[in-house]
Amino acid sequence: MQNDSGKTISTWMTTAQVPDQPVLSANTHADVCIVGAGIAGMSTAYMLSREGKSVVVLDDGPIGGGQTSRTTAHLSNVLSYGYSELEDIHGQEHTRLIAASHATAIDTIEAIAARENIDCDLVRLDGYLFPPDLQSLDEMNQELEAAHRAGLTEVELVNQAPLSGFDTGKCLRFPNQGQFDPLKYLAGLAEAIQRRGGKIYTGTHVEKIKGGLTACVETSNGQVVTADAVVVATNSPISNLATMHFKQAAYITFVIAGKVPRGSIPNALYWDTLDPYHYVRLQSLDEQYDLLIVGGEDHKTGQADDAGARYARLQVWTQERFPMVEEILFRWSGQVINADDGIAYIGKNPFDEENVYIVTGDSGLGMTHGAIAGILLTDMILGRKNTWAEVYDPSRTRIGATGDFISENLNVATQYLDWVTPGKVDSVEKISPGTGAVVRRGLTKIAAYRDENGILHEHSAVCTHLNCIVAWNSSEDTWDCPCHGSRFDSQGKVINGPAIHGLAPVEEKIK
């Protein structure tokens, strides 16, 4: 949500109460140590605890406090890449497994919610995929045929989505989709994990992960967790310096939520096929109103600072199609890690010890990919065969994804030119209270932020991951890395990987 100054302060998920967890204060041992308490980490911890494994979960923020709290929480087997494109990249058999895995993920979340009696607003509903214009029927027919080949035989072509006043044209209806409140769901998972003896430690920053016969996870306060296996579920993996980050890219996506009269829009999921595409769902607000939640307008992390314009475009797109929106109540952004071939990377960390696993590259489907990770990683750690393992293998290469791989890495390479460009301002005196800017100082650059009291805080502008120059995000008051998506708060503290360490401080000055 934004206040009058345009700063993002929260999302619609304000009702879920995830209890505070203890901070790790002594060395400990577990069968499996999981780094990251978002949907992927908590799903994996839950699955392993049900198998009788002792688990320790570590996170430097609250449970679900990272990108899970910023999702629009679609539970869907409609991916950001269409099934015809997935088929070109992955082949027909693997595409069938991709479709089946996401359908299984939705079923699994529903089954867990019922088993553990978790009230998380979960409902099953239809989803509608529509083209950007009424002339794109060929695109819909091609996608229908590919969806059927992928095993989604209940998908059908309909004359339009069930929306009054908005003619989508012919579109595809995907049955048995879902939506939920992920923070309520994670609160239920946390209780179930702890009931089975699992330990969850928030406010615990991990600084080092080392696999081997006995894996070790070291925290910033010097405590160590030893384990037989480690799962790194930090959205972008902090255990992998470069390999995975050449195969995926970080994007900022924007969301608005507007008040609409209850019942004025049929409850369903809606997506178009623009690039970037829009995604739409409803959430109950009160007895009289629903929230219409609309997302889109993505850009690469750290490569634009125009959130106001993107929110405005989202609002125009929404009000043209949903004129019953009375008021925009919330707006926020989140970070999506897009894999170069459209599906997540789940499995053993490449070029690491055999007992270090990762999950990353959610590609806009973090909720179902997180549930898939829980299933697949549990099987892998227990030594069970799983037919999804090859599909989601982090070491995979896909010839059909070469174009995206090359273009994304060329984009990253150009960002290093920021080392030789001027700063955004030529003097820190030009930085107003509550804002930040990169300033050149000799051969390096400084990330300078002036707080509301006029005190200047200076840090190195060099990202601690792979030395790219960060950029100021005025909507979120963060320093964002345009190369691989690391993000730091205004004081230089790391809040999103792959960076592990914060920006190096420069002597603070009062100006």
Structural domains present in the chain: 28-71+183-246+342-407 (3.50.50.60), 118-178+249-339 (3.30.9.10), 421-510 (2.102.10.10)
Residue type (1 letter), 117:
N
Least confident span in 18-27, 33-42, 259-268, 353-362: 18-27
The pLDDT assigned to 417 comes to 66
The burial of 429, by beta-carbon neighbours within 10 Å (0-12 exposed, 13-18 middle, 19 or more buried), is given as: exposed
Strands 215-219 and 224-232: antiparallel
Q: Going by C-beta distance under 8 Å and a sequence separation of 6 or more, which residues neighbour residue 135?
A: none
- Looking at residues 77-84, what average pLDDT do you find? 95
183 within 8 A of 64, measured Cβ to Cβ: yes
Structure tokens at 289: 């109103």
Which regions of 220-302 does DSSP assign to beta strands (E)?
Answer: 224-232, 248-261, 269-272, 279-284, 289-300
User: How many residues appear in the chain?
Assistant: 511
- Per the DSSP assignment, residues forming a β-bridge with 280 are 270, 294
- The vertex-431 CA angle with 414 and 490, nearest 5°, equals 70
The pLDDT assigned to 24 comes to 86
pTM of the predicted model as reported, rounded to 2 decimal places: 0.93
Q: Output phi, psi for 231, to 5 deg.
A: -115, 120
The pLDDT assigned to 135 comes to 72
Cα gap 306→474, rounded to integer Å: 8
Q: Which residue has the tokens 């895995």?
A: 101
Indicate the pLDDT class of residue 426, thresholds 50, 70 and 90: confident
416: DSSP letter: G
Indicate the pLDDT class of residue 9, thresholds 50, 70 and 90: very low
- Looking at residues 238-243, what average pLDDT do you find? 86
- Looking at residues 478-501, what average pLDDT do you find? 95
Given a cut of 70, is residue 90 above it in pLDDT?
Answer: yes
Given a cut of 50, is residue 2 above it in pLDDT?
Answer: no
8: DSSP letter: B
CA dist 177 to 43, 74, 106, 436, Å?
19, 8, 7, 42
* CA 179 from centroid of its chain's CA atoms: 16
Given a cut of 80, is residue 373 above it in pLDDT?
Answer: yes
**pLDDT tens by residue, 304-348:** 999 999 999 999 999 999 999 999 999 999 999 999 999 999 999
- Looking at residues 284-294, what average pLDDT do you find? 94
Structure tokens at 432: 């107003």
Q: Going by C-beta distance under 8 Å and a sequence separation of 6 or more, which residues neighbour residue 82?
A: 143, 146, 273
Indicate the pLDDT class of residue 447, thresholds 50, 70 and 90: very high
The pLDDT assigned to 293 comes to 97
The pLDDT assigned to 13 comes to 67
Give percent helix, percent strand, percent coil of the chain, each to the nearest 5.
25, 30, 45
Cα gap 82→318, rounded to integer Å: 23
- Looking at residues 267-280, what average pLDDT do you find? 92
For a pLDDT cut of 70, what percent of the chain falls above it? Answer: 93
- Per the DSSP assignment, residues forming a β-bridge with 58 are 35, 201
- Provide the CB-side half-sphere exposure for 165 (13 A, CA): 11
Indicate the pLDDT class of residue 404, thresholds 50, 70 and 90: low
- Looking at residues 237-256, what average pLDDT do you find? 91
Cα gap 415→411, rounded to integer Å: 7
Using DSSP's 3-state secondary structure scheme, residue 161 falls into coil
Structure tokens at 495: 């809040």
Least confident span in 107-121, 131-145, 427-441: 131-145
Given a cut of 90, is residue 113 above it in pLDDT?
Answer: yes
- Provide the CB-side half-sphere exposure for 10 (13 A, CA): 6
Given a cut of 80, is residue 88 above it in pLDDT?
Answer: yes
Given a cut of 80, is residue 7 above it in pLDDT?
Answer: no
**Stronger pLDDT, 129 or 16, i.e. the higher one:** 129
Least confident span in 306-320, 396-410, 474-488, 489-503: 396-410
Least confident span in 133-147, 318-332, 446-460, 473-487: 133-147
180 within 8 A of 189, measured Cβ to Cβ: no
Mean pLDDT, the chain, whole residue set = 91
Cα gap 108→349, rounded to integer Å: 25
The dihedral over CA atoms of 12, 128, 398, 363, expressed in degrees to the nearest 10, equals 0
**pLDDT tens by residue, 21-55:** 788 888 899 999 999 999 999 999 999 999 999 99
- The vertex-75 CA angle with 1 and 180, nearest 5°, equals 55
12: DSSP letter: S
Cα gap 97→486, rounded to integer Å: 31
